[in-house]
């Protein structure tokens, strides 16, 4: 994939900007990168703290030629790409279903995939936020988030992280679109996530929260959870929460 990068000092949200370009017909590979976001957003309507130069705020337009049932795998593939980038820097990451990358059980990266209809077909925007420094984390995330420089114990250049991310993203995206790609991505994700199986979690399903143990992924990336009553739940979307052995189930 060829990347074309649009750079901003400050913008509301790189995802919003990339979605706008996608609707205007932008090619796959158009990226929006900003030094700061004034309205950075996460999943479930959450705010993504985006102070100047304290994170990489990156969004890319995709037009995947993929059976629509496998579109959720774009998020998992993005997590694998971030994992590889962090591992290359010397960190020991983990991927929490569906889209968080953790180091030492703290969140270092979030991924927000959004779709939009355009005149030339469906487009996807994958937004990736990577914490680079943690000195001024808002209090509500200070305990649960970390950053690349905190974990490495040294400063890191944004350009270095951005270049490595683009390289790994291109590699794993091509893998997803290649022969047997969806199964390759599920397999790659399995090897990089402690959440793949045997992890005690609470998930939101149609009837409310359910506690159980993870039991692998469906071919489209949905998470299988065996509830405490033995029922199998296929979790397609939403957040999961890790449960410690001593915590009550629901």
Binding site for ligand BTN (CB under 6 A): 13-15, 37, 40-43, 46, 48, 57-59, 100, 110-112, 127-129
Closest separation between CB of residue 179 and ligand BTN, Å? 30
| H or E segment and range at residue 141 | helix 139-142
CA distance 115 to 236: 16
| Residue 47: both structure tokens together | 């705010």
Taking the least distance from each CB to ligand BTN, the nearer of 59 and 181 is 59
Closest separation between CB of residue 6 and ligand BTN, Å? 13
DSSP H helix total and E strand total for the chain: 6, 12
Taking the least distance from each CB to ligand BTN, the nearer of 52 and 90 is 52
Taking the least distance from each CB to ligand BTN, the nearer of 184 and 204 is 204
Closest separation between CB of residue 15 and ligand BTN, Å? 4
Residue 165 CA, distance from chain mean position: 12
Closest separation between CB of residue 231 and ligand BTN, Å? 28
Taking the least distance from each CB to ligand BTN, the nearer of 58 and 168 is 58
């Amino acid at each position: 994939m060829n990347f074309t990068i649009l750079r901003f000092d400050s913008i509301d949200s790189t995802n919003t900007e990339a979605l706008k370009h996608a609707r205007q017909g932008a090619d796959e590979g158009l990226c929006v990168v900003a030094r700061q976001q004034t309205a950075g957003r996460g999943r479930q309507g959450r705010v993504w703290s985006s102070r100047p130069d304290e994170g990489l705020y990156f969004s890319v337009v995709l037009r995947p030629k993929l059976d629509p049932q496998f579109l959720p795998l774009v998020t998992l593939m993005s997590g694998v790409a971030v994992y590889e980038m962090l591992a290359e820097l010397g960190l020991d990451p983990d991927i929490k279903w569906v889209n968080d990358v953790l180091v030492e059980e703290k969140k270092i990266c979030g991924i927000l995939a959004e779709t939009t209809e355009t005149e030339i077909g469906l487009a996807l925007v994958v937004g990736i936020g990577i914490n680079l420094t943690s000195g001024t984390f808002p209090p509500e995330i200070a305990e649960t988030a970390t950053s690349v420089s905190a974990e490495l114990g040294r400063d890191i250049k944004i350009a270095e992280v951005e270049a490595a991310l683009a390289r790994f993203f291109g590699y794993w995206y091509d893998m997803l679109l290649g022969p047997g790609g969806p199964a390759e991505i599920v397999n790659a994700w399995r090897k990089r996530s402690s959440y793949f199986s045997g992890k005690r979690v609470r998930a939101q399903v149609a009837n409310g929260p359910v506690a159980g143990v993870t039991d692998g992924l469906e071919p489209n990336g949905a998470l299988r959870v065996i509830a405490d009553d033995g029922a199998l739940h296929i979790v397609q979307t939403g957040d999961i929460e890790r449960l410690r052995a001593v915590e009550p189930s629901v």
